[in-house]
Amino acid sequence: MSLKSPEAWLLAAARRRLIDESRRAEVRDRSIPIIQQLMEDASAEGTGETIPDERLKLLFICAHPAIDPAARTPLMLQTVLGLDAARIASAFLIAPAAMSQRLVRSKAKIRVAGIAFEVPDAHELTGRLDAVIETIYAAYGTGWQDASGSDPQIHGLTAEAIWLARVLIGLLPGEPEPRGLLSLMLHCEARRPARRSASGEYVPLSEQNTALWSRAMLEEAERELITSSTFGSSGRFQLEAAIQSVHSRRLLTGRTEWNVIVKLYDELIRRAPTAGARVSRAAAIAEAGSPDAALRALDEIPADAVASYQSYWAVRAHLLARLRMHPESLDAYSRAIGLSEDEAVRNFLVKRSKS
């Protein structure tokens, strides 16, 4: 079925029941008073009528250029998608108290500045697109952490993020990055059934049973990635989708081209040098056969950027163990275990630390 309009996206997605209505009601109930201001100030004319989802409309409103760029995504995650400061802080690798203060300061500045929240005109959408995409992906990442789907506060959040990406593509079909975002999320979502064993144990990507991956999702992800490449420009989310695409090829080839993944991370870090990308690049370097170089890559990351980043300590522990630096490895495993909120991940790391 070919879907070319936002209305068609809405209809098709509704048929597939991608949106958890109970969660949407919960989000509305938990949203802070500022969302009422957004709704009251938003114009009911012009572009607003072309954005077929109220949450997406509010995301574009919250991406106002007068708001501090560092606060836009946290503000949108809280006011529009209903996440609390602790979850937002986890996504940004900072302390919950610091994130709460950032949000409070941002809302105070908005009130003092008297920023008028209006639905942006059509020509303003692309200027706010990056912030909206960042928010949708941050929401997906938060939902992705709940592998068992047992956390009621974020239940259905990954499906909601995928839904918003589909609507965004329908709204701006000529933009490549929304397609890269959707491809990235679908590549990850396709592997959800393989993330835990039948007994609930954590299964790392390299050990997952590819027969459990969703071929339909992977095929759609590849189509979106290929389509995004026809626009003549590449961005962060297209690169991240390309990395996941290489991982997904293991379904067909039985192997992972780690050297290709390292090169893609090199380009990604050149554009977006996030702590997560740098840690993942180090892990890929190790898998490509250079644990020494991988450890050096980890050492180059500023310590304050990864002090509470669980993935950093898990990768570091694994590398130190491979290099037979056992006391250092145990220390890193201890840090990683202490920072793990998922019981299955904790148990996996405990077992690794004893092997």
Q: What is the pLDDT along the chain (355 residues), one digit of tens a residue?
A: 333 333 332 333 333 333 344 444 444 444 434 444 444 444 344 444 467 678 888 888 888 888 888 888 888 888 888 888 888 888 887 888 888 888 888 777 777 766 666 778 888 899 999 999 999 999 999 888 876 666 666 778 899 999 999 999 999 999 999 999 999 999 999 999 999 999 999 999 999 999 999 999 999 999 999 999 999 888 999 999 999 999 999 999 999 999 999 999 999 999 999 999 999 999 999 999 999 999 999 999 999 999 999 999 999 999 999 999 999 999 999 999 999 989 999 999 999 999 8
What global pTM score does this model have?
A: 0.82
Contact 55, 81 (CB under 8 A): yes
**Residue 112, token pair as written in the block:** 């003092």
Domains of the chain by range and CATH?
1-173 (no CATH), 174-256 (no CATH), 269-355 (1.25.40.10)
pLDDT value of position 113:
66
Record the tokens describing residue 296, joined without a space: 């050096």
**What one-character DSSP code corresponds to residue 307?**
T
H or E stretch including 156?
Answer: none
Which residue stretches of the chain are H helix? 6-15, 21-30, 34-41, 54-62, 69-79, 85-92, 96-113, 125-144, 157-171, 176-189, 215-229, 236-248, 250-253, 258-271, 275-287, 291-299, 303-306, 310-322, 326-339, 343-354
> Using CA atoms, how far apart are residues 317 and 299, in angstroms rounded to an integer?
13
Q: What is the pLDDT of residue 58?
A: 84
Burial of 330 (0-12, 13-18, 19+ CB in 10 A): middle
Tell me the H-state helices in 31-144. Answer: 34-41, 54-62, 69-79, 85-92, 96-113, 125-144
What CA–CA distance (Å, rounded) separates 13 from 26?
20
Report the C-alpha gap between 248 and 294 in whole angstroms: 23
Query: Phi and psi dihedrals of 196, rounded to 5?
Result: -130, 145
CB 313 within 8 A of CB 332: yes
Which residues are paired to 202 by β-bridges?
196
Q: Give pLDDT, residue 9.
A: 29
**Predicted local confidence at residue 320, as pLDDT:** 98
What is the Cα–Cα distance from 95 to 97, expressed in whole angstroms? 5
